[in-house]
A and B are shown apart, each in its own frame.
Chain A
Amino acid sequence: DAGITQSPRYKITETGRQVTLMCHQTWSHSYMFWYRQDLGHGLRLIYYSAAADITDKGEVPDGYVVSRSKTENFPLTLESATRSQTSVYFCASSGGQSLTGELFFGEGSRLTVL
């Protein structure tokens, strides 16, 4: 039972480079989410997806791109990384037809942009 996995767990990149963070879940959950966690801000929603090929912006979407061609995968791309995008990124999923609150989180991807 793999659950929800993120890769890479740690990534160091340079300003201006493209970075993709991967997220894979094995539960066939409908909903998937990307959050970033920064000191003093808690978790802030970047993008979410209600189903394959359906994505929508969250609170802080600028500078990020997502796609969801398959239910189980929800990659997050930083097209041109900036230092302000240094953060810990969490992917989460939730089952059912509507959001119930039981979000299952991955272990996080720690990204440093130099």
Chain B
Amino acid sequence: GQQLNQSPQSMFIQEGEDVSMNCTSSSIFNTWLWYKQDPGEGPVLLIALYKAGELTSNGRLTAQFGTTRKDSFLNISASIPSDVGIYFCAGQSNNYGQNFVFGPGTRLSVLP
């Protein structure tokens, strides 16, 4: 079953707005990852987080590894039309044999 929860499930924002989304779990993870999937494509890695409390940026994207190790957050500043897509979080834990568990995704739509 699904071990990661993402919120919101979907969101519509105006171009230029900032976006926040999060990923939560009842389990502790050692690594948190954020992926983006464009329509008809495979997911692409945006940011990887390896330490509790870590804050990492990639251009307009910033992600944080929650201090409880049970959550992670992704922020996108000054959204643009090409930000449209599905954003997935993924966690790695010894509980899952070092494999990655993916959340159900947050679908982002950017209105011009």
Residue of A nearest to B44 (CB): A105
Within B78-106, the residues touching A (CB, 8 Å) are 88, 90, 92, 97-100, 102-105
* Contact between chains at B2 and A42 (CB < 8 Å): yes
Q: How large is the interface on A (under 10, 10 to 19, 20 to 34, 35 or more residues)?
A: 20 to 34
For the A-B complex, the count of residue pairs with Cβ-Cβ distances under 8 Å equals 53
CB distance from B10 to the nearest CB of A (A): 12
Decide if B33 is an interface residue (CB 8 Å cutoff): yes
Residue of A nearest to B30 (CB): A101
Interface hub of B42, B44, B103 (most chain A Cβ within 10 A): B42
Q: Please name all residues of chain A whose beta carbon is closer than 8 Å to the beta carbon of B45 when the two chains form the complex.
A: 101-103
Q: How large is the interface on B (under 10, 10 to 19, 20 to 34, 35 or more residues)?
A: 20 to 34
Per the bound structure, the CA–CA distance linking A35 and B88 in Å amounts to 14
Decide if B59 is an interface residue (CB 8 Å cutoff): no
Decide if B112 is an interface residue (CB 8 Å cutoff): no
* Contact between chains at B33 and A101 (CB < 8 Å): yes
* Contact between chains at B40 and A43 (CB < 8 Å): no
Q: Please name all residues of chain B whose beta carbon is closer than 8 Å to the beta carbon of A107 when the two chains form the complex.
A: 40-42
Q: Please name all residues of chain A whose beta carbon is closer than 8 Å to the beta carbon of B92 when the two chains form the complex.
A: 99, 101
**With A107-B41, A107-B42 in contact, do A42 and B102 touch (Cβ < 8 Å)?**
yes
Residues in B lying within 8 Å of A, measured CB to CB: 2, 4, 31, 33, 40-45, 48, 88, 90, 92, 97-100, 102-105
A-B contact pairs, 20 of them (CB 8 A): A42-B2, A42-B102, A42-B103, A44-B102, A45-B100, A90-B42, A98-B98, A99-B98, A99-B99, A99-B100, A100-B48, A101-B48, A101-B90, A101-B100, A102-B48, A103-B45, A105-B43, A105-B44, A107-B40, A107-B42
18 further contact pairs, Cβ within 8 A, besides A42-B4, A43-B43? A41-B2, A42-B102, A43-B90, A56-B97, A90-B43, A92-B42, A98-B98, A99-B98, A101-B33, A101-B48, A101-B90, A101-B100, A103-B43, A103-B45, A105-B42, A106-B42, A107-B40, A107-B41
